[in-house]
């Protein structure tokens, strides 16, 4: 689902405030309550929001957001992060790219690179990059998740461990205030851990909404990362952890 500008603003308001109300949104946008209800119903059908009496709330906690909805949320921020990450990866190099909408944005931005070897467990990245003659795509084997085209499981982990690459581009579902990197699927976490262990330089890409979420499975810690690219890091403690562990923090906004 592609969000309209009004729907994008509604999601942003819900994310900032936790909840949005039909009557308040109708006044804010100078439209009827019926129009707002339709917007909220569409957003809730896409699982970008969760419907409650009189309005909607932004999903948090252990509830993962539908993959297509995640593509639409913070799309401009993800594109900027993708371009920044791609700019750090030189031609004639090898890299891992894992599952996620932000890592897909990095893949999109690599289209003009030459002599790259991209090893991925993300079918969407593989399907996009296979079209470019300057990029060799190697795809992991394993169980394919229907909802996002991610390849997970022990076969994927064993496949990743065969390589030692120059760069890894990884995404996560949540970043805790203590620097923990979190996700929802323990099978995906195992693949991400193998990717981190077998890359010389690890680049974490994540938009700032990941600081507002949580997830139950621990991938690792931000101190294991070499470069962290985000639109904005709102947590001073995370900034301090990056500084203390020589993690390069790049913010695309400001």
Give me the tens of pLDDT residue by residue for the chain, a chain 254 residues long.
Answer: 688 999 999 998 888 777 899 999 999 999 999 999 999 988 988 878 887 778 888 875 544 556 656 666 678 899 999 999 999 999 999 999 999 999 999 999 999 999 999 999 999 999 999 999 999 999 999 989 888 889 999 999 999 999 999 999 999 999 999 999 999 889 999 999 999 999 999 999 999 988 878 889 999 999 999 999 999 999 999 999 999 999 999 999 86
pTM equals 0.76
pLDDT, residue 62, reads 44
| Strand duo 165-170 + 116-120: pairing | unpaired
Cα dihedral 137, 195, 224, 204 sign: positive
Q: How far apart are the first and last CA of the chain?
A: 29
pLDDT, residue 63, reads 46
pLDDT, residue 233, reads 95
- Residue 245, Cβ density class (10 Å: 0-12 exposed, 13-18 middle, ≥19 buried): middle
Residue 246 tokens read as 């020589």
Cα–Cα distance list, 192 to 57, 76, 80, 143, 152 (Å): 30, 25, 23, 15, 10
**Contact at 8 Å (CB) between 188 and 160?**
no
């Amino acid at each position: 689902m592609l969000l309209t500008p009004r729907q994008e603003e509604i999601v942003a308001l819900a994310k900032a405030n936790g909840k949005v109300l039909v009557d308040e949104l109708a006044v804010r946008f100078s439209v009827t309550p019926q129009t707002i209800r339709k917007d909220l119903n569409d957003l809730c059908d896409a699982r970008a929001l969760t419907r409650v009496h009189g309005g909607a709330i932004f999903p948090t906690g252990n509830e993962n957001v539908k993959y297509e909805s995640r593509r639409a949320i913070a799309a401009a921020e993800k594109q900027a992060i993708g371009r920044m990450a791609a700019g750090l990866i030189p031609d004639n190099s090898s890299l891992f790219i894992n599952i996620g909408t932000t890592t897909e944005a990095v893949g999109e931005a690599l289209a003009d690179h030459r002599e790259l070897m991209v090893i991925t467990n993300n079918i969407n990245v593989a399907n996009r990059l296979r079209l470019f003659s300057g990029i060799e795509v190697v795809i992991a084997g394993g169980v394919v998740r229907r909802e996002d085209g991610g390849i997970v499981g022990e076969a994927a982990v064993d496949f990743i461990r065969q390589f030692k690459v120059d760069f890894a581009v990884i995404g996560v579902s949540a970043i805790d205030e203590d620097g923990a990197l979190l996700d929802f699927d323990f099978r995906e976490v195992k693949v991400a851990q193998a990717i981190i262990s077998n890359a010389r330089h690890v680049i974490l890409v994540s938009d700032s909404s990941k600081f507002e979420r949580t997830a139950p499975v621990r991938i690792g810690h931000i101190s294991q990362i070499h470069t962290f690219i985000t639109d904005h890091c709102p947590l001073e403690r995370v900034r301090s952890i990056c500084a203390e562990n020589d993690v390069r923090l790049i913010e695309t906004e400001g």
